[in-house]
Amino acid sequence: MKSKALLLKIFLLVLILAIIYILTNHAESNKDEIKANHVKESLPLHEVMTSNKPLPTQQKIPTKQPLPSQQKMTIKQPLPSQQKMTIKQPLPKIYAIVTMPLLTKKDLQTKKYRTSTIEKIEERMSEFITGLQNTLNHECVYRVHFLYNESNVVDYVKARVKINTTKLVFNRVEDPRKHVTYFDFAYEKLQGEIAMYTPIDVYPGEGFRLINKDDLISKKLMYILTRHGKQEKNCDMGNISNNCNRKRYFGSHDSYIFVPNGPLSPEIRKALDYWSIVWGQENIAIHTFRTLGHFKVTNPCEVLFVYHIHCSNLRDSTRYRINTSANSGMAPPTNTLT
Ligand SMILES: *[C@@H]1O[C@H](CO)[C@@H](O)[C@H](O)[C@H]1NC(C)=O
Ligand SMILES: *[C@@H]1O[C@H](CO)[C@@H](O)[C@H](O)[C@H]1NC(C)=O
Ligand SMILES: *[C@@H]1O[C@H](CO)[C@@H](O)[C@H](O)[C@H]1NC(C)=O
Ligand SMILES: *[C@@H]1O[C@H](CO)[C@@H](O)[C@H](O)[C@H]1NC(C)=O
């Protein structure tokens, strides 16, 4: 009788243990399910697919590691250089200054264009618009200040420029053809900003993200760039004369980049008081900004590309050269910005 009772007790104990075992195992597998559901919500698709596999208990370990997205957010160490390159630097904000004449068939009666045709004049005007539109579309160009003194050119431009027009601002000035006008405008209206005077048929291309305003200010830099050429709609400008190729450079420059800071001295203003299209004005400007302006004037056209469009070949035939040996500066092509 006694041994029967003992057997029954042992049997009941085993039964209870078995029930406890089953119950706890069930709870464990529930936990796994909860984890798996949680993983489904927060993992990218390829991770979800692996977590859908039956989850043996060991698989809990990988899901406990920080998820890729969490890792990114919590890293405080300096990032490896590869990652640095993908971080977006703010783009330099360039305030371009441009102008253009309105050429019409009337100009065929002037000495300047007497030997030309209306087709050439129209082609030239369309090059001006293309140059302006390309400048407006450049990612580093924040504003384009268009200088004019007669409203018919404004109407002409407004009727033809259709893209990125919010960047385009028209400014009335006394004489948009004088070189000094661009610098007067920059020093009056663009103090502390990156100013770029560029002829209307020369537009910015590659390299402009590298422009550093702090360097321009602290090192008092002025870039006076020599142009490049490339395939344009109507011709290949890739082989133009006076380009940035070191062998072809002989003193011709096109676009100016600088930060106006403080006043523009009367001596500098006087030296720039010429028509901008005369030959050698840029050589006088290089000399003047070096000697009177105390700028470090360089020509990093091998890293900052500006492109010239002049397929029409229409030129003012009355241009003359104004620089002398006493006031000429040169800045041969370089590849360094500082
Ligand atoms: C307008 O200018 C932006 C740069 O500021 C450029 O990314 C965009 O392509 C331009 N729009 C067109 C249609 O070219
Ligand atoms: C605009 O400037 C040109 C010279 O660049 C001059 O001939 C013309 O008279 C000026 N027009 C006005 C309205 O001032
Ligand atoms: C580039 O210009 C040079 C000199 O004017 C000429 O000899 C050469 O054929 C031109 N090359 C092309 C591709 O037009
Ligand atoms: C005027 O500038 C050009 C470069 O554009 C240069 O070759 C020439 O020697 C300069 N003229 C004088 C007289 O120095």
- 329 lies in some domain: no
- 182 lies in some domain: yes
Q: Give the CATH number of the domain where residue 217 resides.
A: 3.90.550
Mean pLDDT of 198-220: 98
| Residue 149 Cβ < 6 Å to ligand 2 | yes
> CA 320 from chain center: how many Å?
35
How many angstroms is it from 174 CA to the middle of ligand 2? 7
- pLDDT exceeds cutoff 60 at 51: no
Give the chain's largest Cα–Cα span: 138
The one-letter code for the residue type at 84 is K
- 166 lies in some domain: yes
- pLDDT exceeds cutoff 50 at 220: yes
Q: How many CB atoms lie within 10 A of CB 320?
A: 9
Cα–Cα dist 255/182, whole Å: 11
Total domains present in the chain: 1
| Residue 162 Cβ < 6 Å to ligand 1 | no
| Residue 242 Cβ < 6 Å to ligand 4 | no
- 248 lies in some domain: yes
- 286 lies in some domain: yes
- Indicate the pTM of the whole model: 0.77
Domain range for residue 281?
A: 94-308
Q: Nearest C-alpha to atom 5 of ligand 1 is from which residue? A: 139
How many angstroms is it from 242 CA to the middle of ligand 3? 13
Identify which ligand lies nearest to the alpha carbon of 142: 1
| Residue 139 Cβ < 6 Å to ligand 1 | yes
- 31 lies in some domain: no
pLDDT score for 151: 97
Select from 135, 131, 145 the least CA-distant residue to 187.
145
pLDDT score for 22: 61
**Minimum-distance ligand 4 atom for the alpha carbon of 330:** 4
Mean pLDDT of 286-307: 98
Mean pLDDT of 242-250: 92
- 43 lies in some domain: no
Quick one: the chain helix, strand, coil %, rounded to 5?
40, 15, 45
- pLDDT exceeds cutoff 80 at 28: no
**CA–CA distances in Å: residue 303 to residues 12, 207, 306, 309:** 89, 6, 10, 19
Q: How confident is the model at residue 278 (pLDDT cuts 50, 70, 90)?
A: very high
- 270 lies in some domain: yes
